[in-house]
């Protein structure tokens, strides 16, 4: 049963969340000793962010193999969506704190790592829709017995 559509969405969620460890979240330019230096916020530079990112990678992978318990899988996917939303909120808080601490960071831009959690929320919504569709199919088959 791992060949289902929601399994693809959950796998893509884990892959995109692993991109958080690779890509920057926020970048800005600073002038240090007359040279222009690119500074960045990364998940790997902040221990709590790193722990949450690792959980965001592992949750969909664990959820992927819970295909026999669809209701629990749906609840775990919803929890994963809440965790991703919490990570986005923490990301925005970190960027806001960085901007107040370093005025040069105000001219920075969000980078690829900041977009990945938003994309994973869309994948999780698609996974919930697939799980719900499977649950309805199983319930309709049970009625025929």
pLDDT tens for 31-80 read 778 888 888 889 998 899 999 999 999 999 999 888 788 889 899 999 99
User: Does 104 score more than 80 pLDDT?
Assistant: no
Residue 31 lies in a domain: no
Mean pLDDT, residues 11-36: 89
60 near 92, Cβ under 8 Å? no
Q: Is residue 32 part of a domain?
A: no
**Residue 36 domain-assigned (yes or no):** no
pLDDT value at residue 31: 78
Give the confidence band of 2 by pLDDT, cuts at 50, 70, 90.
Answer: low
List beta partners, residue 136. Answer: none
Q: Is residue 132 part of a domain?
A: yes
Whole-prediction pTM value?
A: 0.85
**For residue 68, what are its two tokens?**
């026999």
Spatial contact of 49 and 94, defined as CB atoms under 8 Å apart: yes
Total domains, the chain: 1
- Domain interval for residue 68: 5-23+46-103+112-139
Q: Indicate if the pLDDT at residue 105 is higher than 80.
A: no
Asked whether residue 33 is assigned to any structural domain, the reply reads no
- What backbone phi and psi angles, to 5 degrees, belong to 28? -150, 160
26: nearest Cα among 89, 93, 95? 95
Higher pLDDT, 145 or 104: 104
Residue 16 belongs to some domain of the structure: yes
Q: Which residue has tokens 């460890």?
A: 21
Between 122 and 144, the higher pLDDT residue:
122
> What is the rounded average pLDDT for all residues in the chain?
88
Whether residue 71 lies inside any domain: the answer is yes
* CA dist list (Å): 87 to 53, 81, 114: 8, 10, 10
- The pair of structure tokens assigned to 79 is 């929890």
- Which residue's structure tokens are 């920075």? 108
Residue 96 has pLDDT above 60, yes or no: yes
CB count in 10 Å sphere of residue 36: 8
Q: Does residue 85 form part of some domain?
A: yes
């Amino acid at each position: 049963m791992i060949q289902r559509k929601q399994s693809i969405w959950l796998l893509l969620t884990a892959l995109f969340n692993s991109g958080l460890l690779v890509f920057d979240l926020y970048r800005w330019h600073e002038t240090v000793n007359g040279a222009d230096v690119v500074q960045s916020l990364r998940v790997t530079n902040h221990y709590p962010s790193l722990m949450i990112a690792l959980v965001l990678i592992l949750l969909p992978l664990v959820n992927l193999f819970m295909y026999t318990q669809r209701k629990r899988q749906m609840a775990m996917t919803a929890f994963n969506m809440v965790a991703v939303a919490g990570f986005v909120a923490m990301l925005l808080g970190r960027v806001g704190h960085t901007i107040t601490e370093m005025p040069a960071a105000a001219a920075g831009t969000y980078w690829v790592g900041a977009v990945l959690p938003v994309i994973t929320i869309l994948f999780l919504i698609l996974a919930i829709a697939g799980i719900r569709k499977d649950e309805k199919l199983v319930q309709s088959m049970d009625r025929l017995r």
